[in-house]
Structure 1
Amino acid sequence: MRLGGRKAATPALSLPIGTPRLVLRDFTTRDLDEVHAYASLEEVTRHLIWGPNTLTQSRETVRGFLDDQKQKPRVNFDLAIVLRDGKKPRLIGGVGLKFADWERRTGDLGYALHPDYWGQGYAAEAAQALMEAGFRELGLQRIYATCDQRNKASARVMERLGMRREGALRRSRFIQGEWRDEYLYAILADEFFA
């Protein structure tokens, strides 16, 4: 990986990442059933480019997460969102940050949660923690995210995170068999820490 004509340090995150209610950690093969529990639901995937997953597709997704963990340098950080509540931690979704453009130090953020955990602030809490790690540990200067314009809940999460709507993209993504309009949100490192 090169930065400004010279070799850059290999990006890495210190995992797991803890928050008051959550742990963000790498996925493992043991997570398949819990990943499939949310990835197979139409209500989770209706605004996404993937899903609803078959069990085979969820297995391939987890395998992809594991393959990404082995990459040197690692550019995709897809992490399990694990709820600390109770005696047995539960995987309730995933949050991801990937290098969209290393030269410009830009990351692409995404998240998905099981609907049993919607509306409780978990997506924002997980995304906030991963964004902070992206800015502090990966040296990103800008993180962006997009959402289908009909996905009002995701737009609210991004706004709660302090992200600014930078644009409305017309028919920019092929989602669930049709071209959809998206919103583009972003935040800069100095804005995040202000």
Structure 2
Amino acid sequence: MEIITERLRLREFTISDVGSVHEFASDPRVCAFVEWGPNTLADSTAFISDCLAEQLVHPRTTWTLAITQDAQVIGSIALMCGASNLLEHASDAEIGFVLRAESWVLGYVTEAATALAAAAGEKLGITRLLATCRPDNIGSVRVLEKLGLLRIGYLRGHKLIDGVARDSVVFARSLASVNPAALSIREA
């Protein structure tokens, strides 16, 4: 899958992306609210290997895409349709994202997530989008709210981060009203 937006290209990861991924995945600021990282080079290489393997699965249930700007990988965004205990129906999907710190607060994640939500609804038949984030991750909370997701739950001790069970806020929205205008969506 490839998605083109005004400023970004979301594309499948390739083996040559290891270095770019490792730049942001080894940054403690980027990993502060997630259950992985900071990555070693071996961790980042394993992530890319997992992405390459999921590209070969049929039927595909996970799409982890590189967020690129001017051909440089600045983050990752994923749509998961089967490997989440949050999903209640076959047409539900969970979205997750991470972005290098130097690209925060520029609207890139909102742009990428809006585009992926549109593709999920139009091309994959997804009707409900879910996400989780830590309550104190204000940046992610704002992105999810900008996407029109509403808080629907609170999970105590949901994610193990640095050996500590951390809470998660659960967000959801229907994709019935997603407007795919101004997007170019191509299957690779």
| 3-state SS of paired residue (2:81) | strand
Match of 1:7 in 2: none
1:145 CA displacement: 0.4
Q: Which amino acid aligns with 1:31?
A: D
Counterpart residue number, 1:10: none
Which residue identity is paired with 2:66? Answer: A
Distance in 1 between residues matched to 2:139 and 2:162, nearest whole Å? 18
Q: Is the 8 A contact 2:117 2:175 kept in 1?
A: no
Q: Secondary structure at the match of 1:57?
A: helix
Rounded to whole Å, the distance in 1 between the matches of 2:89 and 2:169 is 24
Higher RCO (CA-CA < 8 Å; seq separation 6+): 2
Residue 170 of structure 1 contacts residue 180 of structure 1 at CA under 8 Å; is this kept in 2? yes
Change beyond 3 A, Cα 1:103–1:157: closer
The answer on whether the counterparts of 2:81 and 2:90 sit within 8 Å (CA) in structure 1 is no
1:40 maps to 2:26:
yes
Distance 1:103 1:145 in 2: 15
Q: Distance in 2 between matches of 1:66 and 1:102?
A: 27
Give 1:19 deviation, angstroms: 0.2
Quickly say closer, same or farther: Cα 1:102–1:17, change in 2 above 3 A.
farther
What does residue 108 of structure 2 align with?
A: 122
Cα displacement string for residues 52-84 of structure 1 (whole angstroms, at most 9, x for unaligned residues): 000001000000000000001111100000103
> Is this contact kept in 2: 1:47–1:176, CA < 8 A?
no
TM-score scaled by length of structure 1:
0.87
Aligned-pair identity (%): 37
Name structure 2 gaps, 5 residues minimum.
180-188
The normalised TM-score by structure 2 is: 0.90
1:190 Cα deviation after fit = 2.0
Correspondence for 1:173 among 122, 137, 159: 159
CA RMSD of aligned residues (A): 1.2
Equivalence for 2:35: 49
Q: 1:90 aligns with which of 72, 80, 99?
A: 72
Task: State the partner residue of 1:136.
Answer: 122
Whether the 8 Å CA contact 1:76–1:96 is kept in 2: the answer is: yes
Offset at 1:21?
A: 0.1
AA aligned to 1:92 is I
Deviation at 1:167, TM superposition (A): 1.3
Change (3 A) 1:67 1:102: farther
Cα displacement (A) at 1:168: 1.6
Match of residue 74 from structure 1: 60
Of 154, 162, 176, the match for 2:140: 154
* Residue deviations 1:7-26 (CA, integer Å, cap 9, x gap): xxxxxxxx310000000000
Aligned residues between the structures: 175
CA distance in 2, matches of 1:95, 1:162: 17
> Is residue 175 of structure 2 the alignment partner of residue 186 of structure 1?
no
The Cα of 1:176 is off from its aligned counterpart by 1.9
Q: Does the CA-based 8 Å contact 2:121-2:176 persist in structure 1? A: no
Which letter maps to 1:141?
A: T
